[in-house]
Chains A and B, each alone.
Chain A
Amino acid sequence: MKCTFSVLTQNAPGVLMRVSSLFYRRNHNIESLSVSQTDTVGVSRFTIMIDADEWAHDQVEKQLAKLVEVISVENLTHRGSFIQRCFSLIKVRATMETRPHIFQIADVFRCRVVDMGSDALTLEITGNEGKIRACVEALQAYGIIEMAGSGSVALGRSENVPGYLEQESQATYSHMVRA
């Protein structure tokens, strides 16, 4: 089962190594990891996704919390309600004939065209994993030249704020996600 952790750490040298080595040492696979600074000076936020049985979720959470430079650990999956986003750049082959089709797909997935060459387009897409996967699948037929993506980043939802934004954006592409 997939599980996403949001981990606040001190922004100290080696902290990435301490966090990632913990997963390696404890025999858990990291599906995705991303780290960036936060609005608080000296504090970084890791978003870490693992795919493991539930026993491991509990272990990972507690072992992470024991790292001296870790400030807090939150199991977002456990908490239930959170927003998760990935970001990708996709360079796709685009001839004069296929261009309109690609624009259409880009529109459906709310991509932005960030670079345009004579035979290729680069799209920028933001969304959760499922949305990005669906978009990649849709573009595959035209020939993806290369792509780069961030790990997923996530935040717990604020309480009492309606979640319709998220639902709306899902509605636009969910029909395209193949099983």
Chain B
Amino acid sequence: MELTGAQIVVKSLEDEGVETIFGLPGGTVIPLYDALYDSSIQHVLVRHEQAAAHAADGFSRVGDGVGVCVATSGPGATNLVTGIATAYRDSSPMVAITGQVATDSIGTDAFQEAHMLGISLPVVKHSMQARRADDIPRLIRDAFFIASTGRPGPVVLDLPTNVQKAFGEYRRPVDSGKNGAPSEYPGYCAIREDLTRLDEAAKLIRGAERPVLIAGNGINLSRAFEPLRVFAEGLEMPVAASLLGKGAIRNDHPNFIGMMGMHGGAAANRAITAADLIVAVGARFSDRSIGKSEEFARSARVIHIDIDDAEIHKNVGADVWLIGDAGKVLNTLAEAASGHDSLSRRAWMEKILTMREPAVRDASDAMRPRRILDALDEVTKGEVIVTTEVGQHQMWAAQFHKTLHPRRFVTSGGLGTMGFGIPAAMGAHFARPDLPVVCVAGDGSAMMNIQELDTYARYDMPIKVLLFDNACLGMVRQWQQIFYNERYSNTLFARRPDFVKIAEGMGVTAFSVESPQKIKSAIERAVETPGPVLVHFPIPQSENVFPMVPAGEALSNMIL
């Protein structure tokens, strides 16, 4: 069948099962947008390309498909870069399609030419450029395959405008299915499985008296919740989670001991410090999670399970490692490691319960962040997808919101991208339109992609933004307070924008909550109101996130 390159792109996307994509057109992708005009694929027109990338990322994190974003060449493509980097750092699959100037203009500094393959190089899993219309079906198949297999990540597909206009043969690639390596890439190996040390791992687990299992994003990515739950329950293992591992196990599960790391809970950090065995699954031992690496779990042996063998020994040396899909490895290991001493495990669990930070005495009449998050859980009963921006509010959400299901806590961990949460919520909504989506935002981050409220309104997305407004860049302000002698250099805003008016101006229902007594009813009202809603919570500027492990210090060194 003779089609234009642009039509072949659309047809190939349809073949991949793509139903929703996010983007914004421009000169070099007009042919592609023309082809989309006839397609059943829903294109969500955003207000800024960065938002398209975050939305595609959010879509991938919540749903089962690979998120797709589209931008024109030059500034459109470069606007995607932060979103691509965010996805890369959190191993989120994505296909980013960028326009490019015509092949014979490449290198001439043509209008809106940017070397996207070069610019994006260090933040993609792979990238490719279509040179002929005939190649497109193969390239798109490979892009989705590479993005979604092994350790997932973003793939950039650069589409010169003349290739979109050229005619080509559409042939559905048949030689590689989800299970086979793409034919174009003989060396691509999704998983270099290595379970040779299984018995050693099993022996360590059986003999451990104070084990802690660390659940990372790999559990979410491999959808290994059942294997993790069975493993933890069967072997009576306490489970701590990294920020991105949140939701890997129900946060109200008796074995769950909380988040670890810089703003982790005292129980998790102390248990890890006292542990004699760490079993990390799909966790990469990020500096924010482990604190000072030389001090990390000093009395413990480490079993590291990951799909990416380059993570082994990268940040923390492992005594035993297993390479493979988290779910599969956990299933195999659970069987091999049975026969532990139940009595000592229970005693250890009891001990961990005593390690928790003292309950906060909160007699004040302030708009405390925790009250807002507790109310959110009460109102939604936990049946909600939460996305966050980046800062203190992100950490409060991670600490206090109880995530009950996997893949429902969506946050930028590795890159820590302000401006992520509002657009990521759009992707989450389109991935799971059956679930309510709430974005927990700070005023600083919200302003980075506030324009997407307009996109919420145009598509009538029922997303509820809970805006924690401390009129400052709170997380930076906190560091300045604690480590820089309260010298608040460029973190306090001299004026607050009127968020209610901004939201209303974009067609989003909005209201401000003036007293802490009204928090719960405000959230109820937001949830009951159809369409997008922004709830503005002015919170005290002095609120800080605790516990806190100062950067570069041991996890045991918590400011409570």
Question: Which residues in A have some Cβ–Cβ distance to B below 8 Å?
Answer: 8-10, 13-14, 17-18, 21, 25, 55, 58-59, 62-63, 65-66, 68-72
Partner of B117, one of A10, A14, A63, A70: A14
Question: Which residues in B have some Cβ–Cβ distance to A below 8 Å?
Answer: 117-118, 121-122, 125-127, 129, 146, 185-189, 192, 308-310, 312-314
Distance between A11 CB and nearest chain B CB, rounded to angstroms: 12
- Which of B187, B308, B312 is the most central at the interface, judged by chain A CB atoms within 10 Å of its CB? B187
* Closest chain A residue to B142, Cβ basis: A68
Q: Are B313 and A58 in contact (CB under 8 A)?
A: yes
User: What residues of B have a CB within 8 angstroms of the CB of A21 in the complex?
Assistant: 121-122
User: What residues of A have a CB within 8 angstroms of the CB of B187 in the complex?
Assistant: 8-10, 65, 68-72
In Å, the complex CA distance between A22 and B108 comes to 27
Q: Are B186 and A25 in contact (CB under 8 A)?
A: no
Partner of A55, one of B125, B129, B313: B313
Partner of A10, one of B125, B185, B308: B185
Q: Are B313 and A69 in contact (CB under 8 A)?
A: no
Q: Are A68 and B126 in contact (CB under 8 A)?
A: yes
Given that A58-B313, A59-B310, A63-B310 are contacting pairs, would A68 and B185 also be in contact in the complex, using a CB cutoff of 8 Å?
yes
Q: Are A66 and B146 in contact (CB under 8 A)?
A: no
Partner of B188, one of A25, A63, A68: A68
User: What residues of B have a CB within 8 angstroms of the CB of A65 in the complex?
Assistant: 187, 189, 192, 310
Q: Which 9 pairs between the two chains have the least Cβ-Cβ distance?
A: A71-B187, A62-B310, A68-B126, A25-B122, A68-B188, A70-B187, A63-B310, A68-B185, A62-B309
* Closest chain A residue to B131, Cβ basis: A13
Partner of A68, one of B129, B146, B192, B312: B146
In Å, the complex CA distance between A65 and B314 comes to 15
Distance between A139 CB and nearest chain B CB, rounded to angstroms: 40
In Å, the complex CA distance between A17 and B122 comes to 10
Q: Are A17 and B186 in contact (CB under 8 A)?
A: no
In Å, the complex CA distance between A70 and B310 comes to 15
Q: Are A17 and B121 in contact (CB under 8 A)?
A: yes
Partner of A66, one of B118, B122, B127, B310: B310
Q: Are A17 and B118 in contact (CB under 8 A)?
A: yes
User: What residues of A have a CB within 8 angstroms of the CB of B309 in the complex?
Assistant: 62
- Which of B127, B310, B314 is the most central at the interface, judged by chain A CB atoms within 10 Å of its CB? B310
User: What residues of A have a CB within 8 angstroms of the CB of B308 in the complex?
Assistant: 66
Q: Are B125 and A68 in contact (CB under 8 A)?
A: yes
In Å, the complex CA distance between A59 and B189 comes to 17
In Å, the complex CA distance between A118 and B306 comes to 65
